[in-house]
Structure 1
Amino acid sequence: MSEIETVDILAIGCGPFNLGLAALAATVDDANVLVVDSADEFRWHPGLMFDEAKLQVSFLSDLVSLV
């Protein structure tokens, strides 16, 4: 980014919490949200996409923790 931009909500990091924040903010009229991340793309737990992988916390709990 080379221009200065004014936003209502700046979310640093494109993880589950900030994705949930962006989804909730999308329902608010006139809310200007910017989500920034150092990575070029979002990947959910990269390297764990095999049958034996287990996560301690369900992705569903990450999506509702903000609410």
Structure 2
Amino acid sequence: RDLYGTMIHAGAVRSYLITTGRISREAREWAAGKSIGLIDGARLAELARAEPPRDEADVHAGVSIWPE
């Protein structure tokens, strides 16, 4: 919920919560219908094993850090 508040405050149109742990059913239900992507440890491991981007620009596309 803090992430969603920060997202609204910053005017972001999408955000991601990434954890090495698990995401509860309650958290998934709460995030449903909101523009928040949830990536748990199992999915993160899948992504880490996937083929890397073809060039560095693909890695940084759409990434922003807030607050700076």
- Between Structure 1 and Structure 2, which shows a larger proportion of helix residues? 2
Shared fold, TM over 0.5: no
Scaled by the length of structure 1, the TM-score of the pair is 0.28
Question: Larger RCO: Structure 1 or Structure 2 (Cα < 8 Å, ≥ 6 residues apart)?
Answer: 1
TM-score norm. by structure 2 comes to: 0.28
| Structure of higher CA gyration radius | 1
